[in-house]
Amino acid sequence: MENQIREAVNALKNGELVILPTETVYGIFADAANQDAVEKLYAAKGRPTEKALNLNVSDFGTILKFSKNRPIYLKKLVQSFLPGPLTIILEASGSVPEWIHIGKTTVGFRMPSITSTQSVIKEIGVLVGPSANLTGEASPVLFENLSSEILSKASLALQDDSDYGLDTTILDLTLSPARILRNGAVKKEEILEKVPEIGNIQ
């Protein structure tokens, strides 16, 4: 697996797309700092550019770099649920490239828990990685669910079917009270139990 991780890192650094496993579904990833690579990703999926991409990060410090006006409980929330199936929406700092969230003032953060994918993200810094399917098709939970068309768009695909399941829960912290935009693996009750400082969640 170490050789595959190195190959994935090199491919991403060269502006290529790579398919990586997460604890929910397989994603197709690009270097978030490389505009050409991100545009290639949008084209590969047939994804509208107005549909923003989440930033996949490996540590809390990176979340701080790319966000602003953060709630005081953010660190506790991250420590409680990340890495894991929770996407957190925050106000974007000026460090977020425009091509990630065209016309938007917010950005989502994701920290996948699969070890190999974490290693790749840590090497690159920040990745974007929506589900590895053509827009409108079912998200690939297992490696065998990846279509030949999407596989042809990536230079490499890492296989790991050891951990998969429900979609990520999307939690918007830019609203007051915070709001769950999509119910997923992390339940509202779990968040309130571990981070009571959040007060209330819609």
| CA–CA separation, 1 and 159 (whole Å) | 9
pLDDT at 151 over 80: yes
pLDDT tens by residue, 10-28: 999 999 999 999 999 999 9
pLDDT score of 165: 75
pLDDT tens by residue, 33-65: 999 999 999 999 999 988 899 999 999 999 999
pLDDT at 164 over 90: no
pLDDT score of 188: 96
pLDDT score of 4: 94
pLDDT tens by residue, 92-128: 999 999 999 988 999 999 999 999 999 999 999 999 9
Backbone angles phi, psi at 34, to 5 degrees: -105, 105
Q: In the structure, what pLDDT confidence band is assigned to residue 163 with cuts at 50, 70 and 90? A: confident
Q: Are 55 and 29 in contact (CB under 8 A)?
A: no
Distances (CA, A) of 72 to 2, 69, 105, 177: 38, 9, 20, 14
